[in-house]
Structure 1
Amino acid sequence: MDRNGIQHGNARAVAVTALTELLGPKGLLTAAPDCARYASDQSGLPGALPLAVLRPASTDEVSQALALCSRYRIGVVPQGGRTGLSGGACSAEGAVVLSTERMAGIAEIDREAMTLTAWAGTPLETVQEAARTVGLDYPVDIGARGTATIGGTIATNAGGIRVLQHGMTRANVLGLEAVLADGSVVSRLGKTVKDNSGFDLKQLFIGSEGTLGIVTRAVLQLCRQVPQSALALFALPDHAAALACLAAARRRFGSRITAFEGMWPDYWEFVCHATSLASPPMAGRHGFYLLIEVEAGSEGAEDELEAFFAELFEAGLAEDGVLAKSVAEMRALWRVREAVGEADEGFGPHINFDIGLSPSALGRFCDAADVLLAGMLEAKGTLKVGHVGDGNVHLLVAHDGSGRAEERIEAAVYGLLRDWNGAVTAEHGIGRIKARWIGHSRTPEELAMMRGLKAQFDPLGILNPGALFADPER
């Protein structure tokens, strides 16, 4: 058994035989070509070839499979849509992958309770579309909505573009079912909004990245579907103006703000001019770009946003603006913001930092990071784009592709972030890539508590070995 708690030798073959008998030919893959595509996620971190890929079709099969893996001390890496950017779904050496792809579908929609119960392998977009068929919506939304699964978004506590209005995933989960490392099933699929009956145990699994248990089903809180919204892009002098716009938007629109996204000039230049990732919706160069979407009120949403722009222009906060007049124009404006998902190839070797700070400190931190990186020969340029309203910036730092450059840049940026009391990940998760830096956002006392929970739930350390903690506890 290695340091990750993974068994070696004949036990592997015995375990795979037992798993084959349990799951059958559709539920288990062992051929190298079949297993290879499950080795990694979208982080770029190379994963090991899985010992086997488990594809259970029910909670009972997950339970029995984990009981077998626990008996033979075989590591288990949970996977959903493999869209993660922190290496949390990359296979560990000698481990099996447990994919939820056969556990997909909508179990129930309760229109009166405004809830939807879904299997963990259901794509986020499928959940959203199902809710909309009954006039409701599931508000968690990310760019990878077509592939990312509900189980994956729960495991990473996904955020996305509507956090300002609806919160992270954990605020939108009413109940869930999870299987522990020994095969025990913890199931509380209730729809009760107000429940103070002791510990809210579901919160332990949300954001734990599959290290405490594997989520199999969830009850999601829905919201009303907004039939109409308006979208505008404003050009501002700087990030400070964006904060002033946020305060003004809250006064005018209140909770109707559905998105408040920011783009720094380096990002704008890259996606609109240096590449063909997006067409520039306005001329000229500006100090900051703000994308704001609001729900319709008593008057036309477009008229409201137009009046809001006039207010900002009069106050000297906005220099230019574009108001979307059609669905096509809305898609074109969102295209500029979401082009970050396709920036990897054109930007070359780089580190994608997913940073969280107080919204009031975000702009000043980015200025400090720019100064810091400008003095480093290893850094070759930056792109900054993010969720201004909730203090999350995606900072992409280009480098020469060497391991030394990655090490120095990560140490410098995370060191600066620690000084600013920020979070090393705001929504992508720790995974394996950021496990060594978790101490920059968590105190030794907090880490001790987290390790204690891990030891209680997974004493053998078989669940997602190597994720979250740099040195997995057994």
Structure 2
Amino acid sequence: MARHGLDAVLTRVAGIVGSPHVVVDPEVTRPYTVDWTGRFHGTTPAVIRPGSVEELAEVVRVCAEARVAIVPQGGNTGLVGGGVPLEGELVLSTRRLTALGEVDEIAGQVTAGAGVAISALQERARAAGLEYPVDLAARDSATVGGTIATNAGGLHVIRWGGTRAQLRGIEAVLADGSVVRHLGGLPKDNTGLDLAGLLCGSEGTLGVVTAARLALVPRLPERVVTLVGFEDLRAAVAVVARVRRGLSCLNAAEVFFADGLALVCEVEGLREPFGRSWPVYVLLEASDHDDPTERMSSALAAAGVTGDVAVGTDARTRAELWAYRERHTSAINTLGPPHKLDLSLPLPMLPDFIARLPEVVARHAPSARTWLFGHIGDGNLHVNITGTAPDDEEVDDIIFRMVASCGGSISAEHGIGTAKKRWLHLNRSAAEVRAFRRIKRALDPVGILNPNVLLPPE
């Protein structure tokens, strides 16, 4: 669009949201144009910050009429470039949509605006004696809208499921500026298509989520975190499987490795948890109404654990143990923009895949380093490659093809974004991709909503 045409659009938009919320200063807009990893960069003529669903709908309507593309953006904690204005699109920020309703304690639900931080949602739920079960390390900046757009998984999937499992209703603005609102929260509502389920995971390509009705779970006040050292991953996978069968109150099962732990301790100034280094570390968390510490101990003993074990039962020690796992991402980022590949593999194949991976990467990129951690309970492995150029995708290609050959997924919880769209065919058939395109064209015929993510070029 010509500059004068864009200026006219921005003038109209300023009349809707107010001039202070049409940000054009490059110094202010710059943080909106790069993803959290620092690998994906874009540009934008303006960041638009509507304060209500009505304002956002009017903005989308103006952009649709003028055929101006927009990128919806929440907390900008994405890791695959899905919220970056890659081709100079306007950024439509949902950060001001922070309305957070009172908890419906009878239904165990709450309605939250797209701009509500996950940590704020968790605090509101806890004050009512409940929990919002989706949790992730970026909880203080990740937003409700962003986690719905990517169907975020997080730390507690093995017990409560991911974001889609918590959705009981949605409010969203479609590409023509119309508003769909279905926030009743009925557990049983069989009146046609599930728009909430369709929009969840669509990465802002079908509509802009403005609010959601979310299910909460009981707050279980007694909690224990256990860190266990293992000599090899195969033994760790087997132990986690046995513990899951014997411990119904297990919330999380996380894995990381000696090199990653050493980096975290170096960067964060932490002391290593044991007197010796173990090749593999597994962190387990359980919660219940009664203290689960003895049950955790019994489950580990029954599973044949013989390595070092550290136990945290109070808030301070639990946080200290979690820090070894949750600070991996920030520690790795100190080495430069990493290639972050969140993969999902069948659990029986996980040990062999991890054993082969560093050698395969080193063969094709001798200067690269491989850093691994993830959710061992559900087979979600976070592969981080440092020491390669941000735009060098040769190693990504090799790893994605390895994953697909094992029957795994190239994206477990981060989405496709721009980082993985050229490999979508590895997990989705041509017929499925055509169906995706038809849905996109039906809901966004002009193609203004996040046009450069998820779907590869035709």
Mapped contact 1:151–1:215 kept (Cα < 8 A): yes
Q: Cα 1:325–1:24, aligned 2, differ >3 Å: closer, same or farther?
A: closer
2:68 equivalent in structure 1? 74
2:310 equivalent in structure 1? 322
Query: What are the residue-to-residue correspondences of 1:99-178 with 2, within 5 Å?
Result: 99-178=93-172
1:22 aligned onto 2:16: yes
Of the three residues 317, 329, 339, the one matched with 1:351 is 339
Deviations 1:193-240 (A, max 9, x none): 122222212111000010000001100000011111111111122222
User: Which runs of 5 or more structure 2 residues have no equivalent in the other structure?
Assistant: none
1:444 aligned onto 2:438: no
Q: Output the CA distance in 2 between the equivalents of 1:106 and 1:363.
A: 43
Amino acid at match of 2:393: E
Of the three residues 277, 280, 289, the one matched with 1:288 is 280
Q: Output the CA distance in 1 between the equivalents of 2:361 and 2:39.
A: 24
Deviation at 1:308? 3.0
Deviation at 1:328? 1.6
**3-state DSSP class of the match of 1:322?**
strand
Of the three residues 422, 434, 448, the one matched with 1:462 is 448
Deviations 1:235-262 (A, max 9, x none): 12222222221232123212x1111111
Mapped contact 1:279–1:336 kept (Cα < 8 A): no
Pairs aligned (count) = 458
Mapped contact 2:73–2:93 kept (Cα < 8 A): yes
2:77 equivalent in structure 1? 83
Q: Output the CA distance in 1 between the equivalents of 2:167 and 2:61.
A: 27
Deviations 1:359-415 (A, max 9, x none): 232222212323322322445321110000111011112224374xx3221121112
Mapped contact 2:417–2:454 kept (Cα < 8 A): yes
Of the three residues 52, 56, 63, the one matched with 2:46 is 52
TM-score relative to the length of structure 2 = 0.95
TM-score relative to the length of structure 1 = 0.92
Mapped contact 1:356–1:391 kept (Cα < 8 A): yes
Deviation at 1:337? 0.4
Of the three residues 397, 408, 422, the one matched with 2:394 is 408
Of the three residues 28, 32, 40, the one matched with 1:34 is 28
**3-state DSSP class of the match of 1:98?**
strand
Q: Output the CA distance in 2 between the equivalents of 1:345 and 1:400.
A: 13
Mapped contact 1:379–1:397 kept (Cα < 8 A): no
2:207 equivalent in structure 1? 213
Q: Output the CA distance in 2 between the equivalents of 1:382 and 1:119.
A: 38
1:183 aligned onto 2:177: yes
Q: Output the CA distance in 2 between the equivalents of 1:33 and 1:227.
A: 45
Amino acid at match of 1:288: V
2:387 equivalent in structure 1? 399
1:13 equivalent in structure 2? 7
Structure 1 runs of 4+ with >6 Å offset: none
Query: What are the residue-to-residue correspondences of 1:354-369 with 2, within 5 Å?
Result: 354-369=342-357
Deviation at 1:46? 4.3
Mapped contact 1:349–1:398 kept (Cα < 8 A): yes
Deviations 1:416-461 (A, max 9, x none): 1121122111111111122222222211111111111111111111
Mapped contact 2:347–2:378 kept (Cα < 8 A): yes
Deviation at 1:107? 2.4
Residue range with higher mean Cα deviation, 239-248 or 199-208: 239-248
**3-state DSSP class of the match of 1:216?**
strand
Mapped contact 2:49–2:92 kept (Cα < 8 A): yes
Q: Output the CA distance in 2 between the equivalents of 1:259 and 1:277.
A: 25
Deviation at 1:52? 1.6
Query: What are the residue-to-residue correspondences of 1:255-294 with 2, within 5 Å?
Result: 256-272=249-265, 275-276=267-268, 278-294=270-286
Amino acid at match of 1:26: P
Amino acid at match of 2:149: A
Overall identity of the aligned pairs, in %: 35
Mapped contact 1:230–1:296 kept (Cα < 8 A): no
Deviation at 1:125? 0.5
1:98 equivalent in structure 2? 92
**3-state DSSP class of the match of 1:390?**
coil
Deviation at 1:188? 0.6
Amino acid at match of 2:299: F
Q: Cα 1:360–1:250, aligned 2, differ >3 Å: closer, same or farther?
A: same
Mapped contact 2:339–2:390 kept (Cα < 8 A): no
